[in-house]
Amino acid sequence: MMTPPPLDDLLATARVVALPLVTRFRGIDVREALLLEGPEGWTEFSPFVEYDDVEASAWLAAAIDYGWTPTPAAVRTSIPVNATVPSVDPDSVAAVLARFPGCRTAKVKVAASDQDLAQDVARVRAVRAALGPEGRIRVDANAGWNIDEAEHAIHALAEFDLEYVEQPCLTVEELAEIRRRTAYMGIPIAADESVRRADDPLAVAAAGAADLLVIKAQPLGGIRRALEVIERAGLPVVVSSALDTSVGLAMGAALAASVSELDFDCGLGTASLLAADVTGSPLVPVDGAIPVGRVQADPTLLERFAASEERTDWWLERLGRCHAVLTNL
């Protein structure tokens, strides 16, 4: 990793925003992010608030990588993306999908702690009805099931012709076991948290615990680090995001653009879940894809959606602590 720029250089351009969401997602109604402007353009530092400084420092490394160094050569100019369906009622599914025009794939959130399997089945059924038989459906449990719950849920959802099941269980060992138990069903298992929140992001591939990997630039420390993981893992990948602003999504698109083989639609259409963004031209899907290219933050929008003084101070202090972690590596 490159030596981080001086903290004062980062603080000089740091802007903290609080963007409202269209639909409650991942337990939040507002997405906070810290934006920085480097020599290469705007970049983003937006680890979720519950992450500690060591984990969050990888997100800062990614922000510095994207803002201070040129992006790798691109092999495509646009990225096909999936729609993302939060844990909404079935009656709300059509309205959510309408925010993702042209998307042929939907990722459906399941296994929410305040919901049951029947609600998940009803939501996925509504997505299948909306997409038709040609649409692709993947479900994401965010490690919300144990092995037996996952096996039962995959059986219950199999009738909807799933493209894959993302992170059904928490640990690498559990993923390997559920993959073994459900192999006869032919539904691939994808790993997300077991890659981006692991001490060793390659462990899941080494254990044969997944058929494909969900790769996110920020949690892995940047585009170059993510490309190293992809190359060493030797598995198909889906490039995704973590509810970023369009600046962060552009980082993800730059990663996806430089992956040699991209067989799956990517999870980079989540600007459609934001009720506001930091640019007048947000990276929302058009004909099921987003373009590759840097996003310029709009000063007017940065001001309009600036976080409160208290939250801004919290993020700037966090930036300083994470900078210290990187400096001492």
Binding-site residue numbers for Mg(2+) are 140, 166, 192
Helices H / strands E in the chain, number of each: 12, 12
Distance separating alpha carbons of residues 35 and 12, to the nearest angstrom = 11
Among residues 31, 216, 224, 225, the one annotated as catalytic is: 216
Strands 83-85 and 212-216, how do they pair?
unpaired
Helix ranges (DSSP H) in the chain:
7-13, 53-68, 93-97, 117-131, 147-157, 172-181, 193-196, 203-206, 223-233, 246-258, 299-304, 309-327
Provide the CB-side half-sphere exposure for 66 (13 A, CA): 33
**Sheet-wide strand order for 212-216:** 83-85, 105-109, 136-140, 162-166, 189-191, 212-216, 237-240
Residue 256: C-alpha distances to residues 38, 74, 227, 316 (Å): 21, 8, 9, 29
Give yes or no for a contact between 44 and 34, defined as CB atoms under 8 angstroms apart. Answer: yes
Q: Which residues pair with 289 in a beta bridge?
A: 80, 286
Active site residue 107: no
Catalytic residue numbers, as ranges: 109, 216
